[in-house]
């Protein structure tokens, strides 16, 4: 299907770090566009995506969003070079209340489908855990490797992950940081469908899925989605995230390992961990 340029009731946001396109008038395709940085998201990128999802929710002509990446990565997580610079300057990091990429804690009104074209690590994986549906290329890989860098998946994934894959598998992902291939992620329930690895194939599959959604009553889609979310978060994933942020994250920030992990990544060496005082 050839991309179109529909007329909007509200102007789309101006984007620097992602590309907005429209496979059909009702579908918004967001392509993360920092391929040399494996589509890692910086602070400006978070704000840009927050504006984009807010626009998706208020633009009446749009029914569904799709998120994908340009190049060999979907999203490899946070921009650790920027993070290291902020640590050195003593500047606090702050992402939107909607979480990593404005998606990992997003509630929103309209569904978002992830079209995972490649590496999906850290914050990238946190985003897909909170997506409504996930299509993956056969070459896609998934991981929460934060523990390898002395940080944690703080953006909402941990309490949500257990609802999707169960406690043993959630513990395996979060505590080992190991990488899951696409087929294993599908078996675990992280991914709806795995497709081939030809260029554009995963986006085409996501567009096909989005088209099925867009063909339905937009009111019924929004209300049905809310009903599922109420069941999924009945125990309160956001409350769990709040407690984690208020009780444990300040302790993590006071230690040296969080800084050492980021610094070691930037310096391309193995981190030298200190014993935990938590």
DSSP 161-224: HHHHH-HHHHHHHHHH-PPEEHHHHHHHTS-SEEE--STTHHHHHHHHHHHHHHTS-HHHHHHH
Alpha-carbon distance 252 to 257, whole Å?
A: 8
CB 153 within 8 A of CB 95: no
Out of 146, 153, 157, 174, the active site residue is 146
Q: Could you say which of 69, 115, 126, 261 is catalytic? A: 126
Edge to edge, the sheet with strand 141-143 lists 73-75, 119-121, 141-143, 180-181
User: Distances from the Cα of 263 to the Cαs of 76, 79, 266, in angstroms?
Assistant: 17, 12, 5
Catalytic residue at 78?
A: yes
Per the residue annotation, which of 69, 123, 124, 261 is the catalytic one?
123
Active-site residue 146, yes or no? yes
- What Rg, from alpha-carbon coordinates, does the chain have? 18
Are the beta carbons of 74 and 18 closer than 8 angstroms? no
Active site residue 45: no
Length of the chain: 278
β-bridge partners, 143: 121
**Cα dihedral angle (97, 240, 82, 16), rounded to 10 degrees?**
-40
List the catalytic residue out of 76, 78, 102, 205.
78
Residue 174 annotated in active site: no
Helix 167-176, helix 157-165: angle, nearest 10: 140
Find out whether 30 and 67 touch, Cβ atoms under 8 Å.
yes
Q: Residue 118's Cα: distance from chain center in Å?
A: 13
Dmax (CA) of the chain = 58
Q: Any idea which residues carry the catalytic annotation?
A: 78, 123, 126, 146
């Amino acid at each position: 299907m050839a991309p179109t340029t529909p007329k909007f009731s509200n102007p789309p946001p101006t984007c620097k770090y992602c590309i907005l396109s429209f496979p059909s008038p009702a579908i918004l395709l967001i392509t993360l566009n920092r391929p040399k940085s494996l589509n890692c998201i910086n602070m400006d990128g978070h704000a840009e995506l927050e504006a984009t999802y807010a626009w998706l929710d208020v633009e009446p002509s749009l029914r569904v969003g799709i998120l994908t990446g340009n190049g060999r990565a979907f999203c490899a997580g946070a921009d650790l070079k920027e993070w290291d610079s902020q640590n050195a300057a003593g500047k606090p990091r702050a992402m939107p209340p909607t979480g990593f990429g404005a998606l990992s804690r997003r509630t929103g009104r309209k569904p978002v489908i992830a079209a995972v074209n490649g590496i999906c690590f850290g914050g990238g994986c946190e985003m897909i855990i909170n997506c409504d549906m996930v299509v993956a290329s056969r070459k896609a890989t998934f991981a929460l490797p934060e523990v390898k860098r002395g940080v944690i998946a703080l953006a909402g994934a941990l309490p949500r992950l257990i609802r999707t894959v169960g406690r043993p598998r959630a513990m395996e992902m979060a505590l080992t940081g190991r990488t899951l291939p696409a087929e294993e992620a599908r078996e675990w329930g992280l991914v709806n469908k795995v497709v081939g690895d030809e260029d554009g194939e995963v986006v085409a599959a996501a567009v096909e899925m989005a088209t099925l959604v867009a063909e339905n009553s937009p009111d019924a889609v929004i209300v049905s989605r809310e009903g599922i979310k109420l069941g999924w978060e009945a125990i309160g994933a956001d409350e769990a995230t709040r407690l984690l942020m208020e009780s444990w994250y300040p302790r993590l920030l006071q230690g040296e390992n969080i800084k050492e992990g980021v610094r070691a990544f930037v310096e391309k060496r193995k981190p030298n961990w200190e014993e935990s005082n938590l």
